[in-house]
Structure 1
Amino acid sequence: MKAIVFHDRGIVQETEVPVPALRPGHAMVRVQAAGLCHTDIEVLHGRYGKGVFPLVPGHEYAGVVELVADDVSGIRPGDRVVIDPNITCGQCPQCRKGLTNLCAHLKAYGVTENGGFAQFSVVDARHLHHIGQLPFDLAALAEPLACVMNGLGAAGVLGQSGLPQSALVIGAGPIGLLLANSLRTIGVARVAVADRNDNRLAMVQAFGFEPFAAGSDALRQEQQAFDFVADATGVVAVVEGMIQYVADGGAALIFGVCPPDSRASFAPFELFRRQIRLAGSHSLNRNIPQALDLLTRDLTISKLVTHRLPLAEMVPFFTKGGDPTTMKVQFVAAAAG
């Protein structure tokens, strides 16, 4: 079968590889759509995970069940499914507390185990979720959207503290717009998005969000105006500055991935005096069902996918620099629908 393979750090090619063998408890999925995430590029360069090579990347994918092992129930050939990529031990203190995304022995399809940038993927059947008639390219957004759901939960947006009336997302990339879409879908009345790039701000406006140019006078006038503020840039200076936009009693979420060795500076007194909650979020925590529910409620999220390509045309996107007109890039099989 054809697959994209990370042969070693920084080396990626489309390669012919054997079809993976079916194992007990597993199902073979014919991949129909797989999304490229910035994490995939970090994995390629050995900056995320354990640097396991060779590796078939791809942790955002959906497809059709081709075969199931004899001991699998609840999943049948022909089922349309999406994959929860996180593989957890279930035994460590974090898993026992329900924080499976923080598993001490966390593995993941596309990160430590072969993933979805291939014609076939063998997956533990417990990691498959039925998608009904949801289009495969939309279903492949369930994994990043599940990460968003985990983040909103960590910040208390989905908890007992009450739904915010206003929200600001800083960063209008794919994950920032997924955050904004999710906030609007769950009922936040005012959703604004800030970015420094005009092309991305045009997309913000096309989605119907309130656009702000980063660093503009208009944005500076919005200090303490938002009940919830999320960073989706991974830029330390942005993280440091986002507190100024949080209203008293509000919450801020660090969602973007800053470099591991970076440090941010806050005024602890301001967090104390204005009773601001500061939260972090990593990956997804069994949030695929929540994400699928949101996807069925807002099909416009599919507009985030700007490139649907055959496998052979995906390779350059792992190595070239970012293009602000490019949002979500997906491998889509010819027969996908």
Structure 2
Amino acid sequence: MQTVTLQTPGQFKYHQSDPDLTLHPGEALVRVHRIGVCGTDLHAYRGRQPFFTYPRILGHELGVEVVALAEASTTVQIGDRCSVEPYLNCGHCSACRRGKTNCCVNLQVLGVHTDGGMREYITLPTHKLHPSATLSYEQLALVETLAIGAHAVERAGLTPDDTVLVIGAGPIGLSVIQFVQLAGVPLVVTDREESRLGFCRSQMGVTHTLPANEELATRLPDYLNGDLPTVVIDATGNPASMLQAFEYLANGGKLVYVGLFQGDVTFHDPMFHRKEVTLLASRNALPATFTAIIRAMEARQIDTTPWITHRSSLARLTDDFPGWLEPGSGVVKAIIEV
């Protein structure tokens, strides 16, 4: 089968490999049709991804077809089109027992801790497959991206009285924006790149956008009835941005980090206490989030069509991928067709 392996930072290898057709109880063999490329893949290529070892088959945003089952299943059938929940949790640690499977102590994420879906076939637990009778493989491949943003908004626990600043309008930021919009609360989006802000305005209907510069803190109240936002969600994974985010938050507000970097986050403790900030991390997503997103997409409440700006195949990926990292490439979301 066609396979792409990231051998070392900056070096992909396209090759043929033998699929493992062995199925254990509770498993399914799936045919990969579409793969979304995300920030994790870009960081791994650059050698900047935490919790990562080489060589590794990347790919965790997957739209797949069920081609074989180890046994009869009540949740999926042969021929089903599915999105993949790529977080392989142990089921017995403290986090799993409390329903927090997204941050399992022994978590193995496809394409990060264990080999992912940049290949034609992969074996997965059936309970990690989320089927849809109407969505395309392309739509299903974007469910996981949406789930990251949805979980961040879930962590924020928005109420009708909240106002939100989203920092960073890359793919994860876009997914956060999507669910803030569905919550119906006032929203401001900021980014360093005007092209991304323009995308938010033209393709996502965001009314209020601001450049991420030294004037941001003073301009925010102009868009939020004179106040700072009660919720700030940082989707940049940029240390300078993440440290600065405290300054934008209203007293008594919540700061959610959905982006991450390899380093320490520090803050001025008197300011932190004066504002009584609630600081939250957001990691991955929960099974129910995948189900809810698929239903919303089926109901046409979410349209990801404008997001897809670049396409490739497994055979062309080694040539196309480096260009997606170049400044000015215009990549919002790249899809690999298998």
* TM-score grouping bracket, smaller chain normalisation: 0.7 to 0.9
Kindly state the Cα deviation for residue 85 of structure 1 after the two structures are TM-superposed: 0.6
Alpha-carbon separation, structure 2, partners of 1:300 and 1:103: 31
List gaps (5 residues or longer) in structure 2.
Answer: 222-226
Name the counterpart of 1:171: 168
Alignment of 1:69-88 (within 5 A): 69-70=70-71, 72-88=73-89
8 Å CA contact retained: 2:41, 2:58? yes
Name the counterpart of 1:248: 251
Query: Alpha carbons of 1:294 and 1:2: their partners in 2 closer, same or farther (altered >3 Å)?
Result: same
Alpha-carbon separation, structure 1, partners of 2:89 and 2:216: 45
Residue 327 of structure 1 aligns to which amino acid in structure 2?
A: V
CA offsets 1:185-220 (integer angstroms, 9 cap, x no match): 1222x2221111121121121122121111164653
Residue 109 of structure 1 aligns to which amino acid in structure 2?
A: L
Query: Alpha carbons of 1:95 and 1:218: their partners in 2 closer, same or farther (altered >3 Å)?
Result: closer
Residue 87 of structure 1 aligns to which amino acid in structure 2?
A: L
Alignment of 1:44-59 (within 5 A): 44=45, 45=47, 47-51=49-53, 53=55, 55-59=56-60
Is 1:231 the counterpart of 2:234 in the alignment? yes
CA offsets 1:215-259 (integer angstroms, 9 cap, x no match): 164653215421211111112221222223222332111111122
Name the counterpart of 1:156: 157
Is 1:67 the counterpart of 2:68 in the alignment? yes
8 Å CA contact retained: 1:155, 1:278? no
8 Å CA contact retained: 2:75, 2:127? no
Name the counterpart of 2:337: 332
Q: Percent identity?
A: 26
Name the counterpart of 2:110: 109
Kindly state the Cα deviation for residue 148 of structure 1 after the two structures are TM-superposed: 1.8
Alpha-carbon separation, structure 1, partners of 2:273 and 2:170: 31
Name the counterpart of 2:301: 298
Query: Alpha carbons of 1:331 and 1:270: their partners in 2 closer, same or farther (altered >3 Å)?
Result: same
Alpha-carbon separation, structure 1, partners of 2:86 and 2:308: 20
Alpha-carbon separation, structure 2, partners of 1:192 and 1:215: 14
Residue 67 of structure 2 aligns to which amino acid in structure 1?
A: E
8 Å CA contact retained: 2:217, 2:247? no
SS of the residue 1:49 aligns to: coil
Alpha-carbon separation, structure 2, partners of 1:316 and 1:31: 21
TM-score scaled by structure 1? 0.88
CA offsets 1:282-311 (integer angstroms, 9 cap, x no match): 122323113323433433333111113222
8 Å CA contact retained: 2:150, 2:175? no
Alpha-carbon separation, structure 2, partners of 1:38 and 1:323: 15
Alpha-carbon separation, structure 1, partners of 2:336 and 2:53: 23
Residue 198 of structure 1 aligns to which amino acid in structure 2?
A: E
SS of the residue 2:190 aligns to: strand
CA offsets 1:81-109 (integer angstroms, 9 cap, x no match): 11111111111112112222221211122
Kindly state the Cα deviation for residue 118 of structure 1 after the two structures are TM-superposed: 1.6
Kindly state the Cα deviation for residue 128 of structure 1 after the two structures are TM-superposed: 0.5
Residue 5 of structure 1 aligns to which amino acid in structure 2?
A: T
Kindly state the Cα deviation for residue 271 of structure 1 after the two structures are TM-superposed: 3.3
Alpha-carbon separation, structure 1, partners of 2:326 and 2:16: 28
Kindly state the Cα deviation for residue 68 of structure 1 after the two structures are TM-superposed: 1.4
Is 1:279 the counterpart of 2:275 in the alignment? no
Alpha-carbon separation, structure 2, partners of 1:16 and 1:163: 53
8 Å CA contact retained: 1:185, 1:294? no
Name the counterpart of 1:42: 43
Is 1:23 the counterpart of 2:20 in the alignment? no
SS of the residue 1:230 aligns to: strand
Alpha-carbon separation, structure 1, partners of 2:216 and 2:104: 42
Name the counterpart of 2:266: 264
Query: Alpha carbons of 1:6 and 1:174: their partners in 2 closer, same or farther (altered >3 Å)?
Result: same
Q: How many residues align?
A: 325
Alpha-carbon separation, structure 2, partners of 1:167 and 1:256: 16
List gaps (5 residues or longer) in structure 1.
Answer: none
Name the counterpart of 1:211: 209
Kindly state the Cα deviation for residue 164 of structure 1 after the two structures are TM-superposed: 4.7
Residue 231 of structure 2 aligns to which amino acid in structure 1?
A: F
Name the counterpart of 2:224: none
SS of the residue 1:221 aligns to: helix
Residue 142 of structure 1 aligns to which amino acid in structure 2?
A: V
Name the counterpart of 2:220: 222
SS of the residue 2:230 aligns to: strand
SS of the residue 2:220 aligns to: coil
Query: Alpha carbons of 1:282 and 1:166: their partners in 2 closer, same or farther (altered >3 Å)?
Result: same
